[in-house]
Amino acid sequence: MADLNHNATGFAAVMSPAETAAIDAGLRSYMLRVYAYMGGGLVLGGIAALGLRAASVTDDIAQASYVMRAGRVIPIPAGLAVQGRDILLTDLGHAVLVSPLKWAIIFAPLALVVSLSFGAARLRPATAQVLFWLYATLIGLSLASLLLFYGHVSVARAAVPAEDRTTIKRVFER
């Protein structure tokens, strides 16, 4: 069994307070970059979800091809009277949110993670960063269907609860 004695005697004697402060500053800088990338990924995913929703749903019956009413999606018949809870879908909206293509969009982030797990150690940093941004975009696209049923404000509030928002503010105020 491994020796689990984590007593750091001697560690402080080897490093001066200035060296310890430099390490702490470097670690803080590194973690702030990590948080910035993660925050950027959240923003990119949100923009992708809102963009897909904006391209998929319309309020104009002349631009709509399908209507989602009471959980059913039907082509728009002539003379349709739009009711308050109807969701009018464009051709793109029907293709990515209702047709079998929706399953490819939903499982694309999982497929990317599984494929990356086999070769992540061999990736260059620039390639890993591009794949991270791709992953963030795919997550946003896969969650875009939530915006059909819930408003964008309620989804944003669910994604970042109030206590997390204050924590994020505290981290970046230092």
Once rounded to an integer, what is the mean pLDDT over residues 24-35?
89
pLDDT, tens only, 69-106: 777 788 887 777 777 778 888 999 889 888 899 899 99
* Token reading at 73: 């999606």
pLDDT, tens only, 43-77: 899 899 889 988 988 888 888 888 887 777 888 87
Distance CA 97, CA 99 (A): 6
Comparing CA positions, the residue from 34, 48, 51, 46 lying closest to residue 158 is 46
Distance CA 91, CA 146 (A): 18
Residue-level pLDDT at 21: 83
Residue-level pLDDT at 81: 78
